[in-house]
Structure 1
Amino acid sequence: MEFKSLKNIETSFRQIRLFGIVFVSMCAAVVTVALVAVFNFAEKQREKIYVLDNGKSLMLALSQDMSQNRPAEAREHVRRFHELFFSLSPDKSAIEHNINRALILSDKSAYNYYSDYSEKGYYNRIISGNINQVCIVDSVSCDFDNYPYTARTYARQMIIRQSNVTERSLVTVCRLTNSSRSDDNPNGFIIEGFNIIENKDISTVKR
């Protein structure tokens, strides 16, 4: 009888120990899940910016990781450069204004093309011939696996004269390096090694 009682006590102790282990394991699991949830919540809160509008209303804006926007900004930077550099009107001040804005987005490689065009009288012919030139960027492909980033641009030039409209193909390549942002360079890139690899007539249509 005494041995049976000891056996029951030992069995009860094992059960209590098992229940204790299960209880502690469940508590550990609950604590782990709670810590993960708190950490995720804290990360999401860091992405939020609270802005006071004249101290009256509270607006919530979600901040984004800059790296997520860089590909779109790079393509926009290249697109904007081409539109400024190759879209010309028969007005000297307008040409100089657009060219100067384009040169802010690039290094000396683009300036070399500008100097070459100027020496050959290209811009003077645009003005004297009352010619409008419009650059239409079809696509910009960028390689972001290696830095500096390489970009290839496929575009068309519409050269509009009084008698006809000439369409030209334009293919260029360049490298993109990071730069400080400013009002003149909002995307924070500089174009380096700019090179025109194709620029030829596709068609001419009489007006």
Structure 2
Amino acid sequence: MVIKNLENKVKLVTIICGFFLLGCILISVSSLWTARSMVVDAQQKVYVLDGNVPILVQRTTMEETLDVEAKSHVEMFHHYFFTLAPDDKYIKYTMEKAMYLVDETGLAQYNTLKEKGFYNNIMGTSAVFSIFCDSIQFDKGKMEFTYYGRQRIERRTSILTRELVTAGQLKQVPRTDNNPHGLLVVNWRTLLNKDIEQKTKNNY
């Protein structure tokens, strides 16, 4: 009788220990899962300090912001490539900036213009070139863009406005300080570049 009671107590203790061990395992697994979820969620959040006040901003993936970043990249490239002043150091600076954003097709256009004396002519005539973006069409699926803009060329005696349309594709590359969007303009070409208005400046 005593042995039977002892066996029952051992079984009872074994069952209790088994349930206790199972409970510990479930609690540990759920704790690890919860902690992992909290870490992943925290990694998606970034706090920016506004003075001494932390402001929560949500992180986004490249795919979510591709349209905006692509258009910004295309506009930035055209700004550097087509904004010119009668200063050889400034031209060199803007061209170096532009070349980080485009493949060899941009360098080829730059070299062609340089060989034709285009940049020397800018300095000789004291011309100032400005670019204004009208719109950018971007096909996310094909990674193709079309840029529509106007170029303003101001010389000593006149102001010329030209219509500019270019096209190309974008390729994703690692982000760097010189290429913050992580995109590269490829197969870039000019579709249209024609005069639309010329005004004579009033000299007093």
Identity within the alignment, %: 28
Give the TM-score normalised by structure 1: 0.73
| CA drift at 1:118 | 0.4
| CA drift at 1:60 | 3.2
Inter-partner Cα distance in structure 2 for 1:144 and 1:42: 33
Against the structure 1 CA distance between its residues 178 and 50, is the aligned structure 2 distance closer, same or farther, given a 3 Å change threshold? Answer: closer
- Match of residue 87 from structure 1: 83
Against the structure 1 CA distance between its residues 50 and 116, is the aligned structure 2 distance closer, same or farther, given a 3 Å change threshold? Answer: closer
Q: How large is the RMSD of aligned CA atoms in angstroms?
A: 2.5
- Match of residue 205 from structure 1: 199
| CA drift at 1:92 | 0.2
CA offsets 1:89-110 (integer angstroms, 9 cap, x no match): 0000000100110011000001
- Match of residue 100 from structure 2: 104
1:84–1:99 CA contact under 8 A, matched in 2:
yes
1:150 aligns with 2:140: no
1:125 aligns with 2:114: no
Q: Which sections of structure 1, spanning at least 5 residues, go unmatched?
A: 1-37
SS at match of 1:193: strand
Against the structure 1 CA distance between its residues 172 and 49, is the aligned structure 2 distance closer, same or farther, given a 3 Å change threshold? Answer: same
2:46–2:59 CA contact under 8 A, matched in 1:
no
- Match of residue 69 from structure 2: 73
Against the structure 1 CA distance between its residues 59 and 205, is the aligned structure 2 distance closer, same or farther, given a 3 Å change threshold? Answer: closer
How many equivalent residue pairs? Answer: 164
Q: Which sections of structure 2, spanning at least 5 residues, go unmatched?
A: 1-33
Give the TM-score normalised by structure 2: 0.74
1:133–1:159 CA contact under 8 A, matched in 2:
yes
